[in-house]
Structure 1
Amino acid sequence: MSQGNNQFDFNDRYGVKPARAWVKYGVVCAIVGGAWLLWAGLHHSNPELRTELISFITQDPRNPEIRYSIQRASGDDVITCTLTARDFDMNVVGQVEDTIAAGETYLERTISIPTRADAVNAGIERCRVLP
């Protein structure tokens, strides 16, 4: 046998090919995962309803006021927001349901929450579109 520049390789001699079957599965997973990520990002970046707490005032601890904004996708939707007031130990001491009729798509509201004990803060628990 001559010893030329050719290197002897057992894989070539016995027909062993490199295992790259995982590449197909990896490409499929990347395509499916990328499509899901794109859908999730677009779907959740434009919610049907957005709320933002602007401020709350507790000058009267038995009757705090909350100011918040609501932006809805459709002006035809009727919305109910649950607003809560909490005491120093974070117990709910007052809760009110604020129903907003169909109309403008962007609103700012100021609501007073009657409480059973002194409140130190107030917030938006949740807002939902009524069926």
Structure 2
Amino acid sequence: MTDAADRLARRYPPPRVPRGVLVGLVAAGTALGLGWLVWAGLVHATPAVSAQVSAFTVVSDTTIRVTMTVQREDPSVPATCRVIAQSPDFQPVAEQEVAVPSSTVALANIPLELTTLRRATSASVSGCQVG
């Protein structure tokens, strides 16, 4: 019996890293990854500037009026937003970069009028950036 046990011990040597150390390293890596995930989620959950179309009116086959609501963390910093008007088949028919000047209020409604290539049925903000 001892001979068989010796053969098994030679065939399957003990691990180089003890199990407790390995479990500790995995736990530390998991905690680090989870901490980074929470941090990244919190940082990107509140952008410096965000906007949405709060209202739009189709005036004619070549014109749409849009009211864009912009919210900024720091209203003293100017921003730019891209507004897109779309046709019934979801093709963009107008696109405009809108400069949002600095002000004293964090929430601003900006009216604008877009000239379209053909009749638009919706409008949206595709993105905003500070500066």
The count of residues paired between Structure 1 and Structure 2 equals: 117
Partner of 1:118: 119
What TM-score comes out, normalization by structure 1 length? 0.76
Q: Report deviation, 1:52.
A: 2.2
CA deviation string 1:83-120 (max 9, x = no partner):
11111222221122211111122101221111121111
* Structure 1 unaligned spans of 5+: 1-9
Q: Deviations over 1:29-71 (max 9, x none)?
A: 2220121022112211221112122122224232111222111
Superposition TM-score, scaled by structure 2 size? 0.76
Give the match's secondary structure for 2:85.
Answer: strand
Between the aligned partners of 2:117 and 2:42, the Cα distance in structure 1 is 43
Letter in 2 for 1:48: A
The structure-2 alpha-carbon separation of the partners of 1:63 and 1:120, relative to structure 1 and needing over 3 Å to count, comes to same
Larger Rg: 1
Q: Distance in 2 between matches of 1:85 and 1:51?
A: 15
> How far is 1:21 from its partner?
4.7
**Following superposition, which runs of at least 4 residues in structure 1 exceed 6 angstroms of deviation?**
none
Q: 1:23-102 to 2 correspondence within 5 Å? A: 23-102=23-102
Q: 1:19 to 1:99 in 2, by over 3 A?
A: closer
Contact 2:52 2:124 (8 Å CA) reproduced: no
Q: Deviation per CA, 1:3-50, whole angstroms, max 9, x where unpaired?
A: xxxxxxx8xxx8x79945541222112220121022112211221112
Tell me how far apart the structure 2 counterparts of residues 102 and 64 of structure 1 sit (CA, whole Å). 25
- Counting strand residues as a fraction of each chain, which structure ranks higher? 2
The 8 Å contact of residues 48 and 72 in structure 1, kept in 2 or not, is answered as: yes
Q: Which has the higher helix share?
A: 2
Which residue of structure 2 lines up, in the alignment, with residue 5 of structure 1? none
Partner amino acid, structure 2, of 1:105: A
Does the 8 A contact of 2:61 with 2:119 survive in 1? yes
Task: Quote the sequence identity (%).
Answer: 21
Q: Equivalent residue for 1:108?
A: 109
